């Protein structure tokens, strides 16, 4: 047998592509498309989680104060005020008892701004633009029960008098304050008043009857109509 037909065994070094200049088996191609798909999926999940978190924060009172500092800081302070303590109202005026402000009372019950204030998307966008441009009034115009009811899609007294909030009727309210006698604010002597005529969210509540009846009892911590007029300058909107 000729020596020419005998092949010498190869070594590992001869098959090493680094040593022999690139010869040998080629490495498997990287799955770039697969990695890109995984990366896109991870980014999408992060965006969804971040968006969900932002939306949850958007429902909280802290969002209002953080995003709209100037017009909302004082309002947020009335919401966060501990019950039964002296504090200040949305204008910075002294309030003898924070429990006379609905914002503080509702906060203690676990309610948020959005439970009463139900803005439309266009309204929120408009308010955002107004804040960025500085084209807004301060202090903000005080909303009435009618304003809030219309925005929430409810009817009549349903903003306050409903199964989730105050499961009462007007007649029930009259009975609850019957001990106030002829100056019972829930007994419509002249006309049926809106809840927000007396019950204020971000300032001390007002005993409306004192506008005509100086001798009417003013609940502890509340203020009279005369004191309210001094605070508001007797502005119709307030």
What is the separation of C-alpha 122 from the centre of its chain, rounded to a whole number of angstroms? 16
Supply the pLDDT for residue 102.
95
Supply the pLDDT for residue 31.
59
Whether 75 and 64 have beta carbons less than 8 Å apart is answered as yes
Supply the pLDDT for residue 206.
96
Supply the pLDDT for residue 169.
93
Supply the pLDDT for residue 236.
38
CA gyration radius for the chain? 34
The enclosing H or E element of 131 equals helix 121-133
How far is Cα 110 from Cα 228, in angstroms, rounded to an integer? 28
Is residue 120's pLDDT more than 80?
Answer: no
Is residue 173's pLDDT more than 90?
Answer: yes
Residues 135-149 as b/e (b if ≥16 CB within 10 A, e otherwise) read eeeebbebbebeebb
């Amino acid at each position: 047998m000729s020596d020419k037909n005998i092949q010498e065994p190869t070594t590992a070094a001869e098959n090493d592509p680094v040593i022999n200049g690139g010869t040998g088996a080629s490495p498997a191609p990287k799955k770039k498309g697969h990695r890109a798909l995984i990366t896109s999926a991870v980014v999408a999940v992060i965006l969804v989680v971040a968006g969900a978190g932002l939306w949850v924060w958007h429902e909280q009172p802290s969002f209002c104060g953080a995003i709209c500092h100037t017009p909302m800081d004082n309002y947020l302070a009335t919401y966060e005020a501990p019950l039964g303590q002296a504090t200040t109202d949305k204008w910075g005026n002294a309030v003898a008892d924070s429990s006379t402000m609905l914002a503080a009372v509702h906060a203690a019950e676990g309610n948020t701004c959005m439970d009463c204030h139900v803005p439309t998307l266009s309204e929120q966008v408009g308010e955002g633009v107004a804040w960025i441009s500085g084209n807004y009034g301060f202090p903000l115009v005080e909303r009435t029960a009618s304003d809030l009811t219309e925005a929430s899609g409810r009817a009549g007294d349903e903003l306050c008098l409903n199964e989730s909030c105050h499961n009462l009727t007007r007649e029930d309210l009259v009975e609850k304050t019957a001990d106030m006698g002829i100056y019972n604010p829930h007994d419509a002597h002249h006309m049926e008043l809106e809840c927000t005529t007396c019950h204020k969210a971000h300032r001390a509540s007002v005993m409306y009857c004192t506008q005509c009846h100086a001798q009417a009892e003013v609940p502890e911590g509340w203020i009279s109509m005369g004191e309210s007029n001094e605070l508001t300058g007797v502005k119709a909107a307030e």
